[in-house]
Amino acid sequence: MSDPAQIGPRIKAVRTERGLTQDQLASAVGVSRSAVAQWETGRAGQVTGNLTRIAQCLDVGVEYLMYGMDKSAEEEVSHGDELALLRLYRECTPDDRQTLLRLARRLRATRPD
Amino acid sequence: MSDPAQIGPRIKAVRTERGLTQDQLASAVGVSRSAVAQWETGRAGQVTGNLTRIAQCLDVGVEYLMYGMDKSAEEEVSHGDELALLRLYRECTPDDRQTLLRLARRLRATRPD
DNA sequence: ACTCCTCGTCAGATTTTATAACCAATCGCG
DNA sequence: CGCGATTGGTTATAAAATCTGACGAGGAGT
């Protein structure tokens, strides 16, 4: 799941994307420039308690640094109407759920391209 | 955001919820029983590279141990049928989406209690 | 009272990590 | 071309962190 050896390159990738030098990230996190270099080159097995600060300074999620992405097996819903639909669906009986799924399939099949 | 001092009690809470002893969690993670006790009593400032293994063994997200909760602003979908519904919904036109939402409301309103 | 189980704490060995220093590559300037 | 500045990789080492095994306390059951 988590690949510690990949955290370093990932930190480097995000840092350069943000246009920061190692010195700048080091100052932001509160460590020496060498520490950042060692993180990025995989010398440090884990970046321990600094992980949260690094994520904050780079404006990226801790789980992104750890796993490379948010959970991929699950889907996130953030649109209000999709949330509403999901909640309504969950409050339906199994039969009604099947009805909704069938209608969704029919509507999708007849949509214009 | 992250409260390192709270990781310990959180580990303990999840462990006891799962009905595990410190010894059992220690065996699962691959450390001594003392290490688990120290994590839970806050002796260790951070639980370093073991955090991922702890989360795996306790069947909980790393971010939950670190922050106490998954992202609260978003909802996660993990059931296959819900994923299917969501995907179908997204492939529909706005008009068809409204149709689905209306039907869902009607079905929810007529469900037996 | 005794035994067992669970867990908190401690001393110490081991491991990890951050620092300062060193060095190399690149680039811009005179 | 030589020089200085900047950036970044690497190393030795001191300091800090972490884990282990041992010890002891409290509770439950017999």
Q: How far is CA A7 from CA A48, A109, B61, in A?
A: 11, 43, 18
Name the amino acid, one letter, at B100.
Answer: L
The per-residue pLDDT for B45 is: 59
pLDDT digits (tens, 9 = 90+) for A33-48: 999 998 888 876 666 6
Surface-to-core class of residue A94, CB atoms within 10 Å of its CB (0-12 exposed, 13-18 middle, 19+ buried): exposed
Tell me the mean pLDDT in the region A7-25: 89
Between CA A92 and CA A82, with CA A94 as vertex, the angle to 5 degrees is: 45
The per-residue pLDDT for B55 is: 83
Between residues B20 and A49, which one has the greater pLDDT?
Answer: B20
The per-residue pLDDT for B73 is: 42
Under a CB-based contact definition with an 8 Å cutoff, are residues A39 and A7 in contact? yes
Distance CA A68, CA B54 (A): 19
| Closest residue (CA to C1') to nucleotide D8 in the complex | A37
The per-residue pLDDT for B21 is: 92
User: Mean pLDDT in each 10-residue stretch from start to end of chain B (113 residues)?
Assistant: 66 89 91 91 70 83 74 53 77 77 77 62
In terms of pTM, does the model score above 0.95? no
What ipTM was reported for this prediction? 0.62
- Considering only CB atoms, B100 lies closest to which of A61, A83, A107, namely A107
CATH T-level assignment (fold) for domain A1-69: 434 Repressor (Amino-terminal Domain) (1.10.260)
Of the CA atoms within 13 Å of residue A36, those in its CB half-sphere come to 25
User: Whose CB is within 7 A of strand D?
Assistant: A 12, 16, 21-23, 33-34, 37-38, 40-41, 43, 48-49; B 26, 30-35, 38-39, 44-48, 50
Domain boundaries, chain A: 1-69, 77-113
Distance CA B21, CA B19 (A): 7
Mean pLDDT of chain A: 77
The per-residue pLDDT for A33 is: 92
The per-residue pLDDT for A22 is: 92
Under a CB-based contact definition with an 8 Å cutoff, are residues A76 and B72 in contact? no
